[in-house]
Structure 1
Amino acid sequence: MKEQLIKAMQRNQLVDLMYISKSGEISKRRVKVIKITSDSFQAYCFLKNAKRTFILDNVLAAIPVMHREREVI
């Protein structure tokens, strides 16, 4: 999981997360990873429109958002 987040940060990609909070609530969030430490990471959360700190062990899934340019033919 951590390796995926590092790659997304290096590539400046957005990531869709499934995250479980301390209280056990599961949420889907789109984030932009800013900084990664040994057990957590900082990211801008588009759901809350603010910078948040996430615990790596609480990330259930992380999928990089792929943007494809559409061409008019």
Structure 2
Amino acid sequence: MNGLLITSIEEKLPIEIMYISGKGDISHRTIIVKEIQDEYIKAFCLLKQQPRVFNKSNILSAAKPKLRKQFKYA
């Protein structure tokens, strides 16, 4: 997972995470990582359209975004 976080910083590319909050709520977020610390990461959340701080131990999974096919309609 750390490699993916570093790639997001270096290439300014979004990644998708599954995150569990301190209250136990699970959410799917697309983020661009700005900074990595020992316990947390600072990122721009595309869902909320604002900077957020995520506890690293609460990130359940991280992945590159799935490519979506775009179709043209006549």
TM-score by length of 1: 0.82
CA distance in 2, matches of 1:2, 1:54: 14
CA distance in 1, matches of 2:2, 2:59: 10
Q: Which moved more, 1:37-46 or 1:59-68?
A: 59-68
User: How many equivalent residue pairs?
Assistant: 69
Gap runs ≥5 in structure 2: none
The answer for the alignment partner of 2:18 in structure 1 is: 18
RMSD: 1.8
State the percentage of identical aligned residues: 33
The answer for the alignment partner of 1:45 in structure 2 is: 45
The answer for the alignment partner of 1:56 in structure 2 is: 56
Query: How far 1:2 moved relative to its partner?
Result: 2.1
Query: How far 1:4 moved relative to its partner?
Result: 1.7
- Secondary structure of the residue that 1:61 maps to in structure 2? strand
CA distance in 2, matches of 1:60, 1:50: 21
Query: How far 1:42 moved relative to its partner?
Result: 0.5
Query: How far 1:67 moved relative to its partner?
Result: 6.0
Q: Which amino acid aligns with 1:11?
A: E
Q: Which amino acid aligns with 2:61?
A: A
TM-score by length of 2: 0.81
